[in-house]
Structure 1
Amino acid sequence: MIEGRTHDEKVDLWSLGVLCYEFLVGKPPFEAETHQETYRRISKVEYQFPSHVSEGARDLISKLLKHNPNHRLPLKDVLEHPWIAQNSTKHPTMVEKTTGNVH
């Protein structure tokens, strides 16, 4: 997005990783004092987890925040990730083949 290119689901997966981090930590993962430093941290995927973030959450976020979009965890695997399953009150039981809706 920084480079002004069009995006696909893989950018959404990146955004999901950023949002998960922000919800758990209270600030974006790449935030720095200057825009230039923030952009540098984004381009190098440079972030750290505070000690209160669980190993499961770290694992999920780390699998989403990959520089190479093809290395990001696919959405179907996000839904099945142990940390998501462990913390979900509603577990997906079936995915409809025609619409892709989870029931």
Structure 2
Amino acid sequence: MTRGIGALGPMLVIVLVLAGLALVMRWAFGSGYGRTTRPAVPAEEGLLVLVATVSAPATARALRAVLSDAGIRSTQRSPAPHRTDVLVFPDDAARARSLAASFSP
């Protein structure tokens, strides 16, 4: 009889360790219920300036090719569905806006 009770100790430790691991994993990799989410559009772009907003990523890539041909470095982001922003450095913003205004996809 003591042998059955003695085997219960290691099993209890194993069950407690697995339960603890499950709780830690749930906390670390959970869905984040109750956490605040980032806004869809950041308040500022950092070092970059928004020069154009288009409806499709392919159009943004075409505009970026035009900007690249003019020697202007650019990037794009898609903050929402059917919306893609093209951003450049502030020194190139005026030229990029004029090229974007004359751009037709």
Which protein is richer in strand relative to its size? 2
Both proteins in one fold, TM over 0.5: no
- Normalising by the smaller structure, the TM-score range is under 0.3
TM-score, scaled relative to structure 2: 0.28
Between structure 1 and structure 2, the one with the greater Rg is: 2
TM-score, scaled relative to structure 1: 0.28
